[in-house]
Structure 1
Amino acid sequence: MAEFLQKRGKKRNEDGIGSVVDFLLANARLVLGVGGAVMLGIATLAVKRLIERATSPPGDKEEVEKVEQTSIEESWKEVNWTNSSPKLLQRANRAALSEPLPPTATAPLHDGAEQEPLRSDVKMIHLSSTLQEKLLDYYRNHTVIAENEVFQSKQLAEAVCAELQEFLRTKHPEMPFAAMHLSGSLVDDLQAVTADHVCFMAPVVLEPTLWRFIPGEETVLRNPRFWMVRRKALEYFVRGSSPWDRFIVGGYLSSTMFIESLHKILVGSINWPAIGSMLECVIRPVVAPEELKLEVRHGQNNMSITIFPVAKMEETVLLAVPLLKGPVENLWLQSFYTVETHKLFDLDSRDSGTRRCCLKILKGVCKGHPSLSKLTGSHLTHIILHLCDTESDWTETALADRFQQVLEELIGYLEKGVLPCYFNSTVNLFSDLQEDEIDEMGYVLYSALGAPEALLQKCG
């Protein structure tokens, strides 16, 4: 950012105010560190914008605005994030908030008495109170879903699930799934804004004597999140001893074969128009290859249903997901949804905390902001769980502080490109994100760090 602004300053006026500002920015890292330099840069851009607009000919103002916008967007990527940390960001932000007000904003002098600066702790309380009110208002009026909407969506999803289960039992006995059931944030009252998505879990019941889970560290990818399911004892129990042997590839249970088989059934075998007519809705399977999804429209409401073949042994839950192809088609994704949800509920039940409230607000923010849409509920839940290890006060009065801390922690994880799973630190929950996606999310969140209520306004 500093280098970019230096070039613009020299072009505008070698000896002007812009050059002085650029010089300060160029040396800001030496004094403030990376985090402080970025915050100074963002604030200084606004000042430079006013100066350059005032000194530019009328015909050049539009061009100046375009260049400034580009400089702001490039500022996040230009910073060397490997040298910063969440603690640095937190210190920089708090330092900016605790700066004394300019003379025009302070109380007038009386009878020659010295002017008393506004105490930083009073100012922080005022700002937190304002954010607190906005967060609670956003939660009540934007995030919370009406009970009748949740009930109707769950009821409709359960009816569709029952129809799918019955069809598979009748027409495809070679795939003896256990009782299918609903799962996800809609079921656990963790969905935000609208009741628009739910999951169908199709349990694959495996015989313990015939199958074994292989941890991700022992697979070809060495990725702790992607496991394999190995067929064992073939010398004693030949192929065909298990109904799932038909899905074996190279001695392992193939997640890809499950997805392909179910996709053909969803798209080509089931009479969805007839089922939809009976349930008074419109059901359409997603025809994109390897997408096990149904789109359901009921009146003005739309709901997306994702179907997951799921294998479970003891506490390990594996999902067949269309993430990988080729020689790694036998990999299964380890899911932490059940344990992370139970942990969140347990913590809130112990102290009547607002962790779930904070999570719903964050979900609403990410849902309403395109640049943050890649952040899932699982990402946000694990960040909150990590924060719970260091912050014990999750009362309603502390909501604003915890919300801001979650943003700071999130920025810290984004700068590293690593979000450790709360239950297994070797698992990186950001491994499926692209570098440009991380950069974009980091920039958006960092820009809003000093005024997080702006995130609520974008999607309110």
Structure 2
Amino acid sequence: MTDSWEELSLVSASPKLLHKGIEGVVMKQIAAATKKAELSQPIPLPSPEPQRCDTEPLQRRKRMDLCVLTFVERLQQYYRTRVCLSAEEVSVSQQRALEIATEIQAFLHSKHPDMPLGDMTLAGSLLDDLQVVKADHTCLIVPLQLESSLWTPIAGEDTFLGHPQYCMVRRENLEYFPRGRSYWDRHLLGGYLSSRLVSEQLGKTVMESMNWPLLTGTLECEVRPVLGSPELKLEIQGLTKSSYDSGESFYITVLPTVRLGEMTLTAQREITGSFDYVWYQSLYTSETARLAALDKADSGVRRKCLKTLKAVCRNCPSLRKLNGSHLSNVILHMSEKETDWSESAFADRFQQAVTELIGYLEMGILPSYFKPNVSLFQGFTEDDIDEMGFMLYCAVTEPEILLI
């Protein structure tokens, strides 16, 4: 980029940014922030009836109270009202997801009793108390049981792909244990276990064969497969009466998983694309466990900071491409050099994370905490980085724009 984000904010935005109206949107958001009576509620529309004189002082006082709130107080209010999920919402979502998972596991065992699968489990941010704004998704882990003597994971660095998180699973000892010795030999492609073939079999069995109308009647919520998606995904509507009335959906992603040694490999076609024999090495569990261990050791607010950043990025269109993995790694890198993660330092660490993100965007590289040779910004275009960087730079001087 020829212009820095500082110059963009002080002089003028590039034609592309002006065309998008980002600068105007930011200034409108700043102005709107001082008029809201509560950050968690929209501004009430004026009543068609004449306002009574005795209500005007009350409204004026509310505006004045908001204006005198410090950023620390606003951030805490945002965390309480916009980030955290209610215990009831989480409980209902987890219970429904568990019931659906139980039905899928029973159906797979009856349809393919010879398929060696481990016990299916739910996983992801909903189970780890890291989901924000809405309880609307989770993962169903389908563990494939592979014979350790017949299958060997090949690290991404050792493959011709050269991608540290793209791994392969090679079939071994074919001269002594020919094809057919393992159930998963039917999914071989060029001597390697194919993530595409495994996903296709599970897709045909689960997505196309299960009696979803019957399951819908049993669970009293509408369950149906999402068609046309590279993921194996289910959509559930009507978890609660309020979610049914609002049309909100809950999603379960069915994730075929291989665990060999210390490696956890998943079939995520939306990430690996057209490589039919490639598996993705997930680092989510390691990142989540590391954050929890660090917070437990010093009663820190790393996870609180992460959840707040996730909510900010989810609520801000310019930042939605920053996901939990990006933000977790930023905080893990910060923890290497920052020791004060006390509750009183919450706002400081939040603002520091914004500054750190700007630095990584300027470099165009965010190294993975557990695999430094992986750039988590891979796949971002220059326009993506330009838009996110400009929004975050504006938030350095006016952090309240992130809490709207």
Displacement of 1:264 after TM fit?
Answer: 2.0
Identity %: 47
- Check the 8 A contact 2:255/2:267 in 1, yes or no: yes
**Which secondary structure state, in structure 2, belongs to the residue aligned with residue 152 of structure 1?**
helix
Distance in 2 between the 1:358 and 1:372 partners? 16
Displacement of 1:436 after TM fit?
Answer: 2.8
Aligned twin of 1:258:
198
Change (3 A) 1:156 1:452: same
- Check the 8 A contact 1:383/1:409 in 2, yes or no: yes
Unaligned runs of 5+ in 2: 24-66, 244-248
The correspondence of residues 9-158 of structure 1 with structure 2, limited to 5 A, is 38-45=5-12, 69-70=18-19, 130-158=70-98
Aligned twin of 2:141:
201
- Check the 8 A contact 1:132/1:397 in 2, yes or no: no
**Do residues 368 (structure 1) and 335 (structure 2) align?**
no
Distance in 1 between the 2:145 and 2:86 partners? 36
**Do residues 396 (structure 1) and 363 (structure 2) align?**
no
Report which of the two structures shows the higher radius of gyration computed on alpha carbons: 1
Distance in 1 between the 2:231 and 2:347 partners? 39
Displacement of 1:289 after TM fit?
Answer: 4.3
Given candidates 270, 288, 299, the residue that maps to 1:352 is 299
Change (3 A) 1:435 1:255: farther
* Letter matched to residue 272 of structure 2: L
Given candidates 104, 109, 114, the residue that maps to 1:164 is 104
**Do residues 439 (structure 1) and 370 (structure 2) align?**
no
Displacement of 1:324 after TM fit?
Answer: 3.5
Displacement of 1:325 after TM fit?
Answer: 4.4
Greater shift after overlay, 183-192 or 396-405? 396-405
Change (3 A) 1:376 1:68: closer
Distance in 1 between the 2:127 and 2:223 partners? 20
Distance in 1 between the 2:287 and 2:8 partners? 38
Aligned twin of 1:279:
219
Q: Deviations over 1:113-157 (max 9, x none)?
A: xxxxxxxxxxxxxx9x82211111100111110001101110110
* Letter matched to residue 382 of structure 1: N
Distance in 1 between the 2:171 and 2:277 partners? 12
**Which secondary structure state, in structure 2, belongs to the residue aligned with residue 374 of structure 1?**
coil
**Do residues 330 (structure 1) and 277 (structure 2) align?**
yes
Distance in 1 between the 2:385 and 2:74 partners? 27
Change (3 A) 1:67 1:143: closer
- Check the 8 A contact 1:263/1:289 in 2, yes or no: no
- Check the 8 A contact 2:272/2:279 in 1, yes or no: no
TM-score (norm 1): 0.72
Distance in 2 between the 1:412 and 1:201 partners? 35
**Do residues 240 (structure 1) and 207 (structure 2) align?**
no
Q: Deviations over 1:91-120 (max 9, x none)?
A: xxxxxxxxxxxxxxxxxxxxxxxxxxxxxx
Aligned twin of 2:372:
425
Displacement of 1:287 after TM fit?
Answer: 0.5
Q: Deviations over 1:248-275 (max 9, x none)?
A: 1000000111122222223320111111
Q: Deviations over 1:288-337 (max 9, x none)?
A: 143200011123332111111111122211110113344x2111111111
Aligned twin of 2:127:
187
Displacement of 1:71 after TM fit?
Answer: 9.2
Give the ranges of 4+ consecutive aligned residues of structure 1 lying more than 4 Å apart after TM superposition. 71-74
Greater shift after overlay, 364-373 or 425-434? 425-434
Displacement of 1:405 after TM fit?
Answer: 1.0
Change (3 A) 1:194 1:391: same
Bigger relative contact order (CA 8 A; separation at least 6):
2
- Check the 8 A contact 2:156/2:164 in 1, yes or no: yes
**Which secondary structure state, in structure 2, belongs to the residue aligned with residue 448 of structure 1?**
helix
Q: Deviations over 1:183-230 (max 9, x none)?
A: 000001111111111000011111110000101011121011101000
Distance in 2 between the 1:175 and 1:415 partners? 49
Aligned twin of 1:31:
none
**Which secondary structure state, in structure 2, belongs to the residue aligned with residue 449 of structure 1?**
helix
Q: Deviations over 1:73-105 (max 9, x none)?
A: 69xxxxxxxxxxxxxxxxxxxxxxxxxxxxxxx
- Check the 8 A contact 1:199/1:305 in 2, yes or no: yes
- Check the 8 A contact 1:178/1:204 in 2, yes or no: yes
Distance in 2 between the 1:154 and 1:130 partners? 36
Change (3 A) 1:170 1:446: same
Distance in 2 between the 1:242 and 1:68 partners? 56
